[in-house]
Amino acid sequence: MSEDTAVGNPEMEYEKWSVQIRRGALSLAILAIILDGESYGYDIMKKLGQEEYAALQVEPSTTYPLLRRLEARGILEGKWSDASGKRRRLYYVTREGRLISRQMVKAWRSLNDQLMRLVKEAGLE
């Protein structure tokens, strides 16, 4: 589907926007889940599958590539574990990942505050 397909189609435009917003949010959500511990991909999906996180629900086809990207960037560290009787990758947030997560939260808050101010000024709230 081309970029131009969304032109004149509000629903498609909304979907495109929603996907872009979720991409950044999911990285921060994953870091928040495992910041003070460790987690497997399945545990992360289970947490995000809870009703109170419905907007952040994620499929395995999104979760595992994202975990690999965060690991490749040095934000997460993964190690293989056989503790449960089956081989799974256990993820930790690195020191650099902790620093980045704090920056991400600060940027997210600032962006949200400014955006909501504009939304309120426009009478959309």
66-112: pLDDT as tens digits: 999 999 999 999 999 998 788 999 999 999 999 999 999 999 999 99
Tens digit of each residue's pLDDT (9 = 90 or more) over 19-78: 889 988 999 999 999 998 999 999 999 999 999 999 999 999 999 999 999 999 999 999
H or E element, residue 40: strand 39-40
Number of folded domains that form the chain: 1
pLDDT at 121 over 90: yes
pLDDT at 1 over 60: no
φ and ψ of 71, to 5 deg: -70, -45
Give pLDDT, residue 54.
Answer: 92
- Residue 103 C-beta-side C-alpha neighbours within 13 Å: 7
CB 101 within 8 A of CB 32: yes
Give pLDDT, residue 5.
Answer: 59
Residue 64 structural domain: 3-121
pLDDT at 2 over 90: no
Give the DSSP per-residue string, 55-81.
GG---HHHHHHHHHHHHHTTSEEEEEE
111, with CB counted inside 10 A (0-12, 13-18, 19+), is exposed
Q: Tell me, what CATH number does 98's domain have?
A: 1.10.10.10
Indicate the range of 6-15, 48-57, 111-120 predicted with least confidence. Answer: 6-15
The whole-model pTM stands at 0.84
Selection from 100, 94, 97, 27 nearest residue 58 by Cα: 27
